[in-house]
Amino acid sequence: MCGIVGYLGEGEAVDVLLEGLRRLEYRGYDSAGVALVRPGELRVVKSVGKIRDLERTLRRRGGGNGFHLGLGHTRWATHGRPSESNAHPHVAGPIALVHNGIIENYWELREELAALGYEFASDTDSEVVAKLVQRYYRGDLFEAVGEVMGRLEGSYAIAVVSREEPFVLVGARKDSPLVVGLGEGEYFLASDVPALLPYTRRVVFLENRERVLLTPQGMTVVDEKGERVKGELQEITWSVSLAERGGYKHFMLKEIFEQPRAVADTIRGYVSLAKGAVDLPVGEVLEGGIGRVMLVACGTSWHAALVGKLWMEAYAGVPVDVEIASEFRARDPVLDPKTLVVLVSQSGETADTLAALRIARGKGARTLAVCNVVGSSIAREADEVVYTHAGPEIGVASTKAFTTQLAVLYLLALAAGVRTGRVSEEGVSVCLKRLLALPGRMEEALSRDEGIATLARELYQAKDFLFLGRWLNYPIALEGALKLKEISYSHAEGYPGGEMKHGPIALVEEGLPVVVVAPRDRVYEKMVANVEEVKSRDGLVVAVVFPSDPLQGRVDRYLEVPLVEEDLTPFLTVLPLQLLAYHIADRRGCDVDQPRNLAKSVTVE
Ligand code: AGP
């Protein structure tokens, strides 16, 4: 859940490290630090807070210029509260180390080292790794890290330097991501690609249990047996500007407005316009018949999966279950080779979703990943992967990742429908035409932002909110509530409209904002009944409706979305809810892109 960076070259290491950390801040932001090495000197500066706090501390301590090797870390606390001593890099003799992940056997290792006389300055599992490297260090850092890897249980991406080897940068990983960037006469290490983009697009994603040695002479990658491996060089094609704010006040707002483009890119990538057919790279996972589909995910990706289930059942006619990844792995799921397990994850690094994937593979199920981050662990370990083409999503609140996941799941449902014979070629062609018209409608929906900002001005002080929806828009009610609570810290609950009478209606009182997602679809009349129930108890109804809908005259406020076929409504109805959450959070003065207690990719369990 932390972000790590490393640099070796001729440039100012401190500048590269700080820039990289700023770009990784989404991974965690409760403390940060850098370690800088030059012959005879190891300088470590740490600070509680965000990267800007680290920069201030660095300035107070005379800056960090004149170093060409270094490590940086931005932390999201797992073991040990946010404090300077718990912040990384951890120092052990000549060694400095940064770590992302969780060391499961750290207590045993700590006791072993303590018995040997090692002392600990922090409560972290990471410091144990640093001390262990010190223990095995006999002047060859790469070798010492190899020995340490054999002792660690759990997950880690580490970057390590030694004062004794001022031109050597070492990295290693298991179950946490680490990518090497190759520049002109310089090397980078990072948890994620955005940290590298200002410097290089040529990257190598380290595989599990691989270790990399970077020196001015070149790069060496070895596997867990110490045997040399090639390390596949990949070229990153997305641009730096895609990862920057581009004039918007927050990344989240920029990403909300990028959705028409992101959805269009995702659809175009998987549709053959000439044939009017779906062209998903799902290869063999759909071959030979599917008995059952399981969609597994967390958070917003789980909401996308809930919508995907309804499409998949309708188009493919196969039974579909949707599972929260942490629950899936907690039980003993019954799977067989006829089960297709679809892992939905923006980051491709969510620990529970990754664990679910491994369970599914272990039980012989076919696995398909729907991921946004190229080269991420889930993408690499699944049998097949379909990438969403959202581009980097920096805001912690998922927005464009969600709608692009919807696009892929819709296409997957159509592709499966063709295989099961429930959807004809003409049927697919009609659906694709509608789908291709969606980005334009999404633009239109987003153009109503001003009205939504006005409504947010009215509602931003409300303490509680209720979101109601049915069928395809029940997951959208859940998503609207999640967006609002995670970035504005307002209490919000999402419910299926039909469940209102079974409890939540007791919450309705004068002025309670109740957001009712009610496009004209097969459950519209039932949503109208929900509106009446809320109104008769003096709740303040905000309805998400089509233009000129009769409900507009019966509710307190309404948010209009353009007319669209009923099965595509989630693509549009979610947009005003994202914007409403954004404007409420912004009005409340919240840190929209980096809400408290959250991190963009949840790589801890
Ligand atoms: C939603 O806004 C959150 N960022 C969160 O629920 C997220 O969707 C969840 O952590 C899953 O992440 P993933 O898609 O990267 O696996």
pLDDT tens-digit readout, 212-268: 999 999 999 999 999 999 988 998 876 666 666 767 889 999 999 999 989 998 998
Contacts of 34 (CB under 8 A, 6+ apart): 14, 17, 18, 21, 44, 45, 46, 54, 58, 64, 70, 71, 72, 73, 89
The percentage of the chain sitting over the pLDDT mark of 70, rounded to a whole number, equals 97
Q: Is 601 in the pocket of ligand 1 (CB under 6 A)?
A: yes
pLDDT at 515: 98
pLDDT at 288: 75
Q: Is 2 a catalytic residue?
A: yes
- What integer is the mean pLDDT of 311-318? 96
The answer on pLDDT for 497 being more than 70 is yes
pLDDT at 331: 92
Number of residues that this document lists for the chain? 605
pLDDT at 245: 73
Sign of the dihedral through C-alpha 169, 175, 180, 181:
negative
- Distance between terminal CA atoms of the chain? 10
505 Cα to the center of ligand 1, angstroms: 29
pLDDT at 284: 74
Question: Could you say which of 254, 400, 485, 600 is catalytic?
Answer: 600
pLDDT at 569: 98
Q: Is 371 a catalytic residue?
A: no
Q: Is 396 in the pocket of ligand 1 (CB under 6 A)?
A: yes
- What integer is the mean pLDDT of 431-453? 95
The answer on pLDDT for 394 being more than 80 is yes
- Kindly report which listed range (246-250, 439-443, 506-510) carries the lowest average pLDDT score: 246-250
From CA 407, how far away is CA 267, in angstroms rounded? Answer: 7
Burial 344-354 (b: 16+ CB within 10 A, else e): bbbbbbbbbbb
Quick one: the chain helix, strand, coil %, rounded to 5? 40, 25, 35
Beta-bridged to residue 543, according to DSSP, are: 516, 558
Ligand 1 pocket test, pick from 324, 350, 385 with the greatest ligand atom count within 8 Å of Cβ, gives 350
Pairing of strands 320-324, 292-297: parallel
Q: Is 603 in the pocket of ligand 1 (CB under 6 A)?
A: no
Asked whether 137 and 63 are in contact (CB, 8 A), the reply is no
The pair of structure tokens assigned to 573 is: 């109805």
Q: Is 345 in the pocket of ligand 1 (CB under 6 A)?
A: yes
From CA 390, how far away is CA 402, in angstroms rounded? Answer: 9
Asked whether 272 and 414 are in contact (CB, 8 A), the reply is no
Angle, CA 360 vertex, CA 204 and CA 26 arms, to 5° = 45
Question: How many other CB atoms are there within 10 angstroms of residue 487's CB atom?
Answer: 28
